[in-house]
Amino acid sequence: MNYIFVPMNREYASTIVDTWKYQQEYSIYDYTNEADHMLDEEGWGRGIFAVLNQEED
């Protein structure tokens, strides 16, 4: 499978923050803990990227 790196955008960042949830002791990895960082548009395309599959999912 090939992957495509694209600059982060509001849609991708919101989906990650709202849906990437982990159970119990792994909840420290929830992106809700990083919402400010993920939703900061200044980092999009500089240090924050989205990785999509060939179907751009």
pLDDT for residue 40: 94
Please enumerate in sequence order all residues whose Cβ is within 8 A of that of 28, keeping only pairs 6 or more positions apart, or say none: 22
**CB distance 4 to 50 below 8 Å:** no
Q: Answer whether residue 21 is part of any domain.
A: yes
Q: Answer whether residue 32 is part of any domain.
A: yes
pLDDT for residue 33: 81
Span 7-57, pLDDT tens digits: 999 999 999 999 989 999 998 888 888 899 999 999 999 999 999 998 877
What pTM, to 2 d.p., does this model score?
0.79
Q: Answer whether residue 12 is part of any domain.
A: yes
> How many domains, in total, are found in the chain?
1
State which residues form the domain around 17: 4-52
Work out the number of other CB atoms within 10 angstroms of the CB of residue 17: 19
pLDDT for residue 16: 92
Q: Answer whether residue 45 is part of any domain.
A: yes
**CB distance 56 to 4 below 8 Å:** yes
Q: Answer whether residue 57 is part of any domain.
A: no
